A and B are shown apart, each in its own frame.
Chain A
């Protein structure tokens, strides 16, 4: 499996920053960065990372199962993550999620047929004072109302 030159350089730097014999600590960042590039944690990626860190496939699976932000299935181009944890819930996070489901036409952990959007209900992302919050890919959006969400979706649809 081949990665882009930047990613390879990043991996090489990362491997240097751990003490010898502890290279497996690079597992989580490696998976995250590779996921950003490929879109999801594919079977080939799992095997590649396992081989590079000299650990078993099961060791990689354990980590992927543990962290909810590592996805084994392809996501949409824009991954909408709506928080429904306590602060957001009180500020209308639940309604926001329901609205997102309706306007995107997909449910939790599903992808739109055109592959543009995917939706996920997530736990607290540390934006409690700006609740309700959501995150699209790595961008935070605060005090989101259903109308604001529709605008967001519409603007992203235009980007294509």
Chain B
């Protein structure tokens, strides 16, 4: 417990931690001190002078945002002098601020507007003409309207401190000082849009959202981003059946204010004109739109026919579908068709990790652990590119707690800027490099180890053995690629595993075929591909196989399909997803795209058509079943229902793991790519600046 001091705020005795900032202490007491430049977690600036308070025995008003509380301090936050000061500050801020609120994107959610309304004078004594500078476009997503800027430096600080890109600065001085981008007239950065989000006024605006609508015109739906595996919460602004913007409006969820370029701008695939909006059936060699009932009937009949004659059916599942859909799909395969030929594109070896941990329930880290841990070790992954939230967390941990980070990668990564030790390791030699850190690591009080797909199979076991031998508490994160990669393996979308990492032998079944085996099996009768694109770089050996595809876009696999079901995206459904750290969060339906059905509905309807009873296919009901049946998924319902994240603990006992190196491979998506979804997001392709390899030189110099 830190030392407490007693001070008086507005006549009331208050106890607070010594050294805490007055503005925070007041906030905790329910006293608002207005401020623009103060932003929790960022360096102090005291630039805006809105937070002035009266402190006894101090001759002038003091900025509350930089004033640490001290014993016996007497503070007044609500006096005529302060009111006068606030009015003057706002008058100065508005001296050159254009009053174009009706056209400004920020109008309605602008901090300057709110403050002026609450504390302002209502009129100005400045009669001079305002200084006009034309709006500048800095990148496809960032626009800068200089006269609106109040120079609070929030954008500069979040870019430099928060994201570590340092792409914004302040040039010139006095009345002509202005925010400037890193490359003269344009930005070369992560395009994460954090600067736009953090701007208290409408100076930085988003290229995707600007002049589209007003804040109060949208429905705001808080759901989980459907791109990478970090599971950031994103609030979609929806109007007229279209997603217009995304941000984490209320800073809730595991990511706080953070969102990367994909979460903030990569939503436009939802309203892409190339979306499949009607079921298609191959007739006379051509795909033609048909009714839902016809498509469902065709598939159901085919599956029944193959089932009766004992044919071979394979399922390739998705990294993006919800836990409910994954669970229902494996039920359809295993119970409905007695087939274990079910697999998905695996991007990390969670299975071996869980086996190696052998039931230790406290050894899997959460996203919050990355912010709290005293030390962390990153192995063979470029977090800033592939796991942006995890990178943000590690960086924030270093900024706020001076945590110690060790990096072992085959190339330069951004974490090296703050790592205490960075080692270069050729692919395959990572564990040798880790071994050389033994002395340093064993001196740490605790450790979180994050490892990418380069560590798999035996290497995972050796890594866990190494962690055990350090004699300190060690937690692990097995890095994965996509929004529900973890949920897919948890729900048993693998030929040898039932949901909850139970071996298939428990259900009296033989292990089935993997993706590669299914594609190579010339005698396959039916292949059902759900939200995946295995035929992008491969060929289907079974020439005559009947291919069913659940897809949003007619990509390579869909082109080969005999039946296409137009599927709904994660933003169009209810359900739950599990992030890279095993945290379960709920999806909220934000909109409906005409013609598409959720995968759960499609599975349920096909099962019903086939005459198989697999239980109700409502997300809530299936989730109840998951909580009952899947080990570790008995998570707290209130936490999930209120938009929180509850970690699943799928650890009790050994997993008869079958890991084969060729089956586990990350897709190496960068910040600006996201598999098929990324290809159909115009926003993402327009900001794509570094199409090259993950570790290509120069990718780290923003």
A57 within 8 A of B: yes
Q: Is A56 an interface residue (CB 8 A)?
A: yes
A138 within 8 A of B: no
Q: Does B180 contact A (CB under 8 A)?
A: yes
- Rounded to whole angstroms, the CA-CA distance of A59 and B182 in the bound complex is 9
Min CB distance, B670 to chain A, in Å? 21
**B173 adjacent to A57 (CB under 8 Å):** no
Interface flags, A89-103, vs B, CB<8A=1, else 0: 000000000000000
Partner of A62, one of B167, B171, B181: B171
* A58 engages B172 (CB within 8 Å): no
> Chain B residues near A65 (CB, 8 Å)?
171-173, 177
Cβ < 8 Å to B, chain A residues 48-65: 56-59, 61-62, 65
Which residue of chain B has its CB nearest to the CB of A61?
Answer: B171
Taking a contact as CB atoms under 8 Å apart, the answer to whether A66 and B166 are in contact is no
Give B156-195 interface residues, CB cut-off 8 Å to A: 166-173, 177, 180-182
- Offer 20 A-B interface pairs, CB within 8 angstroms, sorted by A: A56-B166, A56-B169, A56-B182, A57-B182, A58-B166, A58-B167, A58-B168, A58-B171, A58-B180, A58-B181, A58-B182, A59-B166, A61-B169, A61-B171, A62-B169, A62-B170, A65-B171, A65-B173, A66-B171, A66-B173
Give the complex CA separation of A56 and B177 in angstroms: 19
Residue of B nearest to A66 (CB): B173
Residues facing B in A12-46 (CB within 8 A) are none
Are B180 and A61 neighbours in the complex by a CB distance under 8 Å? yes
Beta-carbon nearest neighbor of B169 in chain A = A58
Interface, chain A (partner B; CB < 8 A) = 56-59, 61-62, 65-66
The count of residues in chain B whose C-beta lies closer than 8 Å to any C-beta of chain A is: 12
Nearest opposing residue in chain B for A64, CB measure = B171
A61 to B169, CA, bound (A): 9
Determine whether the beta carbon of A66 is less than 8 Å from that of B180: no
The residues in B between 368 and 404 inclusive whose CB is less than 8 angstroms from any CB of A are none
Question: Assuming A58-B169, A65-B172, what are 13 further A-B pairs, CB within 8 angstroms?
Answer: A56-B169, A56-B182, A57-B182, A58-B166, A58-B168, A58-B171, A59-B169, A61-B180, A62-B169, A65-B171, A65-B177, A66-B172, A66-B173
- B residues in contact with A59, CB < 8 Å: 166, 169
In the complex, what's the smallest C-beta–C-beta distance from B7 to chain A, in angstroms? 35
Query: What is the distance, in angstroms, from A75's C-beta to the closest C-beta of chain B?
Result: 19
CB distance from B144 to the nearest CB of A (A): 14
Q: Which residue of A lies closest to B176 (CB)?
A: A65
| Cα separation A127 to B574 with both chains bound (whole Å) | 74
Most buried by B among A56, A58, A59: A58
Q: Closest CB-CB distance, B407 to chain A, in whole Å?
A: 18
Residues of B within 8 A of A56 (CB): 166, 169, 182
Shortest Cβ-Cβ A-B pairs, 9 listed: A65-B171, A58-B169, A65-B172, A62-B169, A58-B182, A66-B173, A56-B166, A62-B171, A61-B171
Alpha-carbon distance A105/B171, docked complex (angstroms): 31
Chain A CB within 10 A, most for which of B167, B172, B181? B172
Kindly report which residue of chain A lies nearest to residue B173, judged by CB atoms: A66
List the A residue with the shortest CB-CB distance to B167.
Answer: A58
| Nearest-CB residue, chain B, relative to A59 | B169
With a CB–CB cut-off of 8 A, which chain A residues contact B177? 65
Chain B residues with CB below 8 A from A66, complex form: 171-173
Complex: chain B residue closest to A62, CB-CB: B169
Q: Within B119-176, which residues are at the interface with A (CB < 8 Å)?
A: 166-173
Nearest B-chain residue to A55, judged by Cβ = B166
Question: How far apart are the CA atoms of A59 and B181 in the complex, in Å?
Answer: 11
B171 — which chain A residues lie within 8 A by C-beta?
Answer: 58, 61-62, 65-66
Q: How far is the CA of A66 from the CA of B167 in the complex (A)?
A: 18
B133: min CB distance to chain A, Å: 15
List chain A residues, Cβ under 8 A from B166. Answer: 56, 58-59
**Chain A residues near B181 (CB-CB < 8 A):** 58
A62 to B182 CA separation, bound complex (whole angstroms): 10
Give the residues in chain B near A61, CB-CB below 8 Å.
169, 171, 180
- Docked pose: A57 CA to B169 CA in angstroms: 10
B412 to chain A, nearest CB (A): 14
Q: Which residue of B lies closest to A68 (CB)?
A: B173
Q: From residue B41, how far is it (CB to closest CB) to chain A in Å?
A: 22
Closest CB of chain B to A144's CB: distance in Å? Answer: 27
Question: For the complex, what is the distance from the CA of A59 to the CA of B169, rounded to whole Å?
Answer: 7
Chain B residues with CB under 8 A of A62? 169-171, 180
* Inter-chain contacts of B172 with A (CB < 8 A): 65-66
Q: Interface readout for B613-643 with A: 1 if CB under 8 Å, 0 if not?
A: 0000000000000000000000000000000
Interface residues of B in 184-242 (CB under 8 A from A): none
Bound state CA distance, A66 and B180, in angstroms? 13
User: A62 vs B177: C-alpha distance in the bound complex, in angstroms?
Assistant: 10
- B residues within 8 A CB of A58? 166-169, 171, 180-182
Of all chain A residues, the one with the shortest Cβ separation from B166 is: A56
Across-interface contacts of B180 in A (CB, < 8 A): 58, 61-62
Residues of A within 8 A of B182 (CB): 56-58
Residue of A nearest to B702 (CB): A56
State how many angstroms separate the Cβ of B702 from the closest Cβ of chain A: 8
A5 to B47, CA, bound (A): 42
Expressed in whole angstroms, the Cα–Cα distance for A59 and B165 within the complex equals 12
A98 to B426, CA, bound (A): 69
Distance between B366 CB and nearest chain A CB, rounded to angstroms: 32
Nearest neighbor of A60 in chain B, beta-carbon distance:
B169
